[in-house]
Chain A
Amino acid sequence: MSTESAALQPDTSIRAIGEGYAERFGFSMPNRSIVKTSQGLTEETVRAISKTKDEPEWMLRFRLRALHLFQTLPMPTWGANLSQLEFGSMTYYSKPTESAKDSWDALPADIKSTYERLGVPEAERKFLAGVGAQYDSEMVYHNIREDLKKKGILFSDVETAVREHPGLVKRFFGTVVPPDDNKFAALNSAVWSGGSFVYVPPGVHVDIPLQAYFRVNSQAFGQFERTLIIADEGSFVHYIEGCTAPVFSKDSLHSAVVEIIALPNSRIRYSTVQNWSSNMYNLVTKRAFAYDNAIMEWVDGNIGSKVTMKYPAIFLMGPGARGEVLSIAFAGKGQEQDTGAKIFHFASNTSSVITSKSISKDGGTASYRGLVKVEAGLTNIKSKVECDALILDPHSRSNTYPTMDIRSEQATMEHEAKVSKISEEQLFYLMSRGLSEEEAAIMIVNGFIDPLVKELPMEYAVELNRLIELEMEGSVG
């Protein structure tokens, strides 16, 4: 693969990871918010957000109910260490501009420059059908190709959809991930802002991806976007999200809710390359309902953040539905990646595949946490789970926590997990062909995640391999 050979050029002057991140993603702009709530979370905060957005009454009530749930639901007693998370010292809403623009030139210079440095406008020109860009709490840019707009595809922030398509939003919003699902879903439901709304009409295929780019600029800030994607019967859409933030000394929180509805015979692919800075708590609830013969695919790459807890879920609701989750996690110094997948088989003739690959190094902890559940009375159920973990040094950790709950005689459930280090034989073989030990190790690690990386669009694949190369610097020898 070309990206591998690029990664193996000896003169790529591999930089230390912190330095590399700061230059490319870790920069910040002066705070420019025009509306900002005060630190901490109270009913006033929620009312202020709702008022700023000029929301209908039902949405305010939804938020207030969720706030109550957030205040009463317990913190998760399992998973990553969240003891340092301080809800009281965070800012929950910051609005950087008056409204979302459909042209980069219409954006304030510092915001425009941020996305240019991140390469988003260039990517849009090259290989995307539409782009949404969120800056702190609001979508500042939203654009979709004219021809797709004409086919009836809706692509906007959720606030716009609440105003312009209240029927669709009310029918699906909060149905896939209800506010009482977990503490962080409740938090998001109370203070949500921004995120994408996508609707693809029956039979329409969006051949090139839509993308959303999430950028946090403020310090000790909480970003709570909410995404709702509906693929109508027989349609197809590929949605990609990328995330970065400046490196600050104070921790921030990203707690999104993503709701997906794949109606009969549709197919949705949702790809994430999460590269949050090392001061970010990334606690996200993602779930999809797949109806008759629908296909739902999550491609979930987790490179950044301090702590991530994320388990994309698929509920196979109709016969013939199929779910697939591909998960990559990279846990470096000070990082805890607690990721995985959940699949619920609620209908006969459904199948699911979970493939997880993780790499731990420099004392990082990567955990796979997953669930596959098959209800009684269903026939012809197939599920396969495969977890591979690489540990690159003696101080790093890898955990695997799968759960399988099968109540049907006509189900076949297979799970395999493997933890190992880079094999001496592979290193020796490559070094015998003239590669340095570090080059060989990078090649092996890139090869290890290649089956997943090649599921990403090319630009992201290159980016991911480059990130791995950066992360791997100095890890061997």
Chain B
Amino acid sequence: MQEGLIIRGLSAGLENKRIIDALHLEVPDGEVHALMGPNGHGKSTLANILMGHPGYAVEEGEVLFDGENLLDLEVWERARKGLFLAFQYPAEIPGVTVSKFLKRIADLRRNPPRNTSVFLSELKENLRMLDIEPAFVNRYLNDGFSGGEKKRMEILQLLTIQPRFAIFDETDSGLDIDALKVVAAGINHMRGPGFSALVITHYRRLLDLVKPDKVHILEKGHIVACGGFELVELLERDGYDGIRRIVANPANPEVREAVYEH
């Protein structure tokens, strides 16, 4: 059995509109990959489909997570297997305090904290790492949070749940530099054997802090290019047009090592 995430021939989307088209993608255990691509080409859709959002339908393909087909599982079963999605727009849940919620989801993870005091010391440590005021945990979950606060909240849940595979859906968008560093610290803290991740982003600045092992470019619902960090640099220099030119001419010596058509 191969560990990590393997997506094979995935076609999916809305009922009448295919958004993900015969997509292949592999993220082996212990690696962090970046997923980039223009707006509206399916990045967030892919994240939501992996998590099992009921609004999308899968036409064909499979998603193997540690050898098991994720697509057969309910949303919470995927979560309990160790899949985590840091939402681009987390839902607001008024009336449920952050502390109560975190305790609950910590108890659902694979190795729950032994008792409340262990949970509390973990929580304290995580809050310190993410530079979050302790009083924050008395607020209602995401209710009235600023954009930055919501993103920190997602990372706090990441550290609390300790998943095996995490998807970050534009977690860096709209963050100031301090918040960005906090998010990167959270991701880097999780990094290592037994954890892998897919970082969806538009910008280099998060990837500078969380060096990806591989970079994938998603266009029109499938991966058009795949490479190392130099792909990020190329993208920054020449934009998606630059990628398209190289994909169209794979013999280009400058980058042929880095880029290939998937």
Q: Report if A and B touch in the complex (beta carbons < 8 A).
A: no
Q: Chain A residues in contact with chain B, CB under 8 A?
A: none
Q: Chain B residues in contact with chain A, CB under 8 A?
A: none
